[in-house]
Copies of this chain bind each other. A is one copy, B any other.
Amino acid sequence: MDADSLRDYKNLSSGNICDAMELLGLRRSVIHGFTFVAPPGSIVVGPALTVRQIPKHGSAPKSANLVRHAEISRQIAQEGDVVVIDVGGIRDVCSWGEIHSLRCQKRGVAGLVIDGCIRDVEAVRKMGFPVFCRGFSPVKSQWDLETLSLNEPVMIGGIQVRPGDILFGDETGILVVPPEREREVLSKATEILAGEEKIICELQGQDSG
């Protein structure tokens, strides 16, 4: 995804992209029902960096640190990436918070999509690092979870996400665009947007009745 594509995607809405993907006959790839912790009007676009976490094995001691967040926020996540964490929908442990958000923001990471919880909600919202999550929990993942894989396919909200897939998210929802179709989707969605803008302009030009 080059800088031009990125800029042009940022003019679109999830509705435009969804319509484009349906019209192009792509398999429906929409992630529904996440809470968006971000400034009003935020849009998250970029290639996915995928992480899979699962509960610790019965043989693992509570104190064992088997998660790899620090690595991700310090080294692995690159400028423009969208970090995508599959924790199997677990709602009583968090896998992200203020420090990882700040580190990622400093490195230019585009945002986070997590099928689980974050903590430090107020601080994350204030710093403006955009996060899609399932809920909030103060419980550190270190006690309960382990990182099973990095950059392998994961499932988020019933949709497969592969490393490098283009994620586009706004308050309405998140789309997963296969990277090889990225240009085609952009082009069709831009056309749809143009049609909608024309209608909206006409409507706004009318006197209210």
* 12 A-B residue pairings within 8 Å (CB atoms): A18-B140, A22-B143, A27-B62, A29-B58, A57-B160, A88-B88, A98-B196, A99-B196, A106-B209, A107-B208, A118-B172, A138-B175
Is the C-beta of A91 less than 8 angstroms from some C-beta in chain B? yes
Q: A138 to B13, Cβ gap below 8 A? A: yes
Complex: A170 Cα to B180 Cα, angstroms: 43
Given known pairs A138-B172, A160-B54, the reply for A155 and B30 (CB within 8 Å) is no
Residues of B within 8 A of A106 (CB): 203, 206, 208-209
Q: A136 to B171, Cβ gap below 8 A? A: yes
Within 8 A of B (CB), among A15-29: 15, 17-19, 21-22, 26-29
Oligomer: number of copies: 6
Q: Which of A19, A32, A135, A199 has the most CB of B within 10 A?
A: A32
Closest Cβ of chain B to A150, distance in Å, is 14
Closest Cβ of chain B to A71, distance in Å, is 15
Within 8 A of B (CB), among A47-62: 54-60, 62
Q: A59 to B98, Cβ gap below 8 A? A: no
Given known pairs A33-B135, A120-B13, A122-B171, the reply for A200 and B58 (CB within 8 Å) is no
Partner of A30, one of B18, B21, B122, B139: B139
Given known pairs A107-B209, A138-B30, the reply for A55 and B160 (CB within 8 Å) is yes
Is the C-beta of A128 less than 8 angstroms from some C-beta in chain B? no
Q: B171 to A57, Cβ gap below 8 A? A: no
Q: A15 to B178, Cβ gap below 8 A? A: no
